[in-house]
Chains A and B, each alone.
Chain A
Amino acid sequence: MINDSLKQLGEFVGADRSYVFDFNLDKGLCNNTFEWCAPGITPEIETNQNLTLDMMPELVEAHLNGQPMIVNDVQEVEKVDFKKLLQAQGIKSFITMPMIHDKECVGFVGFDWVKHHHTASQKEVILLELFSEMLVNIRIRSHNERELHKLFSKTIEQNQRLKDFSYITSHNFRSSVANLVGLLTIIEEDPLNKEYFEMLKATALKLNLAIDAINDLLNFEKDISNLDKEEINLLEVVNDVIFLNRKSAVDKKIDLKVDIPKDLTLRILPAYLQSILHNLITNAMKYGVTESSRKVEISAIKQAKGVLLTVADQGRGIDMKRFGSKMFQLGSRFHPDEESGHGMGLYMTKQQIEAIDGRIEVESEQNKGTKFKVYFNG
C-alpha cells in the first residue's frame, strides 16, 4: 500500500524517486524503509541504511521543527559529506517532509529529481505534507494490527493449552473415578473378594499419580523469569537421576552407558534440567528396552553454541511417519502397557526445553530405537 502510494505520487509530481525514511533518534540513525524509482533510476534503499543523523544536520533540524526541507539545487546543501552522499545518488533536487506522530518526528517522506533540476511548487509541498500525514496514519494502523495479531495468536495458543489441560483432567481423572465407582459397585455385591480391593488400591494410586502430574503441569506454567539459573555439572545431575531410578534399572537389567565429560557445565534452571533429564531417561528405560536390547546411552558434548545432550535407546521405536507429529503433544501415548503414562512427559519436556531457549529433536525407527537430542544454550 505504501509502495503503491509512493509510485503514484512520484509519477504525479514527475519525480525520479520517492521514499520513506524512519528516524531512530536514540541511536542517532535513520533508515530508508520504502522506496519507489522511476524506470531507469538506480534504487538506493540498500545504501541508505543506518545513516547517521549527524551527517545531515540541516535536514534533521528542519524536520524536528516540523518543517520541510526543499532543495532546488543540491549545490545549496552546506554539509559537505551530506552533499557528497546526495550527489553520489545522482540527486539534483529534492523535497523531504517530516512524518509527525504525537508531536514527534518519526522520519520523513521525500522526492528526488535525478534526470534534471526541479523547482518545487507550493502545490507539491502541500501534497507531500498530506501524504506524510497519511503515511503516519497507515503505519499506526499497521502497527496496531500487528499488536492485535500478536495478542490473537497468544490467545489461541493459551486457549489450546487450556483445551489440552481440560482434556487430560477430564480423561485421566474421570477414567480413574469411573473405575473406582465401578469397582465399588462390584465390591458391594461381592464384599469379600480381595482381588477387587487390590484393583481399588491400584486405581486410587493411578488417580493420585494423575493429580501429581497435573500439579507438575500447573507448576511449570508459573513464570520462570524470576527463577535463578545456576552453573550446573551435567554429569552429576545425570548420575542423580540414574541413582533415583536404580531400582527399575536393576529390575529390567538395563545396560546404561553414560558418556559425559566430567567438567561439562551448563547455566540453567536446576529444576528444569533435572525434570528434563528425568523424563528422557525414564522414558528410555520404560519404552526403549526390549527382551533383546537393553541398552540406554546418555551422552553430551560441548558445541560452539552450548551443549548437545543425547539420550538413545535401541528399543521398539516409533513410526515417525504416522506418529512423528504427535510425539510432543499433550495427551499422546504410544505404548499400550501398564507403565503407560499420562501423555504429559514429552509435552512438558519440550515446553521446559523451549522455555530455556533450547531445542529438542527426535529420531526414531521402528524396532531400531529412539534418539532424543537436546540442544541447550549457554
Chain B
Amino acid sequence: MDKPTKILLVDDDPIFFSFADMEINNVETAVEIHKAMICEEAIYFLRQGQVDIIFLDLNMPVMNGWEFLDALPQVENNDHQIYVLTSSIDPSDQRKADENPFVTSMLEKPLDKDKISKVLTS
C-alpha cells in the first residue's frame, strides 16, 4: 500500500478519539484524521470520498461494527483497509473478524503507538 494519508476513526467514545488522534500524530503527522461517532455517519462519509484506513469499534449504539461491515458492500469506494477495534475478550469476535472479507485485522484496545506504527507501515 502507498503511504496512507487518510484515516477514519469510527467509535462512539470521545475519549478514544482524543488519544487516538494524539497517538496517530505521534507516529505520523502527515495524515488526515476523520471521525465518526455512529456508523451511519461513517457510511455517509465513505460515500463522499475515500480513505486508506478505517479503525472500527465493534460495540456501538444503534448500528454496531458488524452491522457496519454488512452495510459496506453498498458503499462504492471501498479501497481501504479496515482494522476492527475491540475491548471484548469474546473469542467469537476474533473468529468473525477472521472470516469477514472486509477486515484486515483485529486489534485490541487501547490503540497505542506500536499498533499504529504497524498499521501505518504495513
Chain A contact residues, CB within 8 Å of chain B: 166-167, 170-171, 174-175, 177-179, 181-183, 185-186, 189, 195-196, 199, 202-203, 323, 333-336, 338, 340
Contacts and interface: CB of A to CB of B under 8 A. Distances in A.
B109 A182 contact: yes
A64 B37 CA distance: 75
Contact of A186 (B22, B59, B88): B22
A353 to B, nearest CB: 23
Pick from A199, A336, A340 the residue with the most CB of B within 10 Å.
A336
A333 B87 CA distance: 17
Given A186-B22, A202-B15, A175 B59 contact: yes
Contact of A335 (B15, B61, B89, B111): B61
A334 B62 contact: yes
Given A181-B110, A182-B19, A170 B14 contact: no
Nearest to B41: A336
Given A175-B59, A175-B109, A335-B61, A167 B88 contact: yes
Pick from A175, A189, A334 the residue with the most CB of B within 10 Å.
A175
Contacts of B59: 171, 175
B61 A340 contact: yes
> How many B residues are at the interface, by size bracket?
20 to 34
A170 B61 contact: no
Given A171-B59, A333-B61, A186 B19 contact: yes
Contacts of A170: 87-90
Contacts, number: 73
A272 to B, nearest CB: 27
A174 B12 contact: no
Nearest to B12: A336
B23 interface: yes
Nearest to A174: B87
Given A171-B87, A179-B19, A186-B23, 18 more contacts: A170-B87, A170-B90, A174-B109, A175-B59, A175-B87, A178-B108, A178-B109, A179-B110, A182-B16, A182-B23, A183-B19, A186-B22, A195-B18, A199-B18, A323-B62, A335-B61, A336-B12, A336-B60
Nearest to A332: B61
B61 A185 contact: no
Contacts of A171: 59, 87-88
Given A186-B23, A336-B60, A336-B62, A174 B18 contact: no
A64 B46 CA distance: 81
A174 B16 CA distance: 13
A171 B61 CA distance: 13
Contacts of A186: 19, 22-23
Nearest to A186: B19
